[in-house]
Amino acid sequence: MEKKIIQTDKAPKPVGPYSQAVQLGNLLYCSGQISIDPKTNEVFLGPVKEQTEMVMKNIEAVLAQAGLGFKNVIKTNIFLINMNDFPTVNEVYGKYFTQNPPARSTIAVAALPKGVHVEIEIIAHT
């Protein structure tokens, strides 16, 4: 099997040496997305609700580039710098997974890139 790199201008450019997503066979591995506006490549550090909306839209753009949608997502990992943000992040996240949600882990971390409060990575099935 050959890996295929997924790249779109509708999601932020990587901030390091990684791809937005890699497809191998029938699995798509999406790198963690943070609240970067893909139009300006500027980091958004506003309220966590708005950060989460931006993260989910960035994930949606990467999935779309691979011809997929949220219904294809089978696993997510959410990283938060403050577990008090969990209810807010969960509310936004839930709007994207209304039926048959994927497996998920939520992990508290000391810090995230660029000073953001939430990062989400996904694995999807083609």
Residue ranges per structural domain of the chain:
3-125
Question: What's the CATH fold of domain 3-125?
Answer: 60s Ribosomal Protein L30; Chain: A; (3.30.1330)
Spell 87-125 as b/e; 16+ CB within 10 A means b.
Answer: ebbeebbeebeeeeebeeebeeeeebeeebbbbbbbbbe
Nearest partner of 45 among 108, 121, 118, 95, judged by Cα: 118
Tens of pLDDT along 9-43?
Answer: 999 999 899 999 999 999 999 999 999 999 999 99
pLDDT, block means (10 residues), the chain with 126 residues: 95 93 98 96 96 98 98 98 98 96 98 97 96
How far apart, in whole angstroms, are the C-alpha atoms of residue 83 and residue 20?
26
Predicted TM-score (pTM) of the model is 0.96
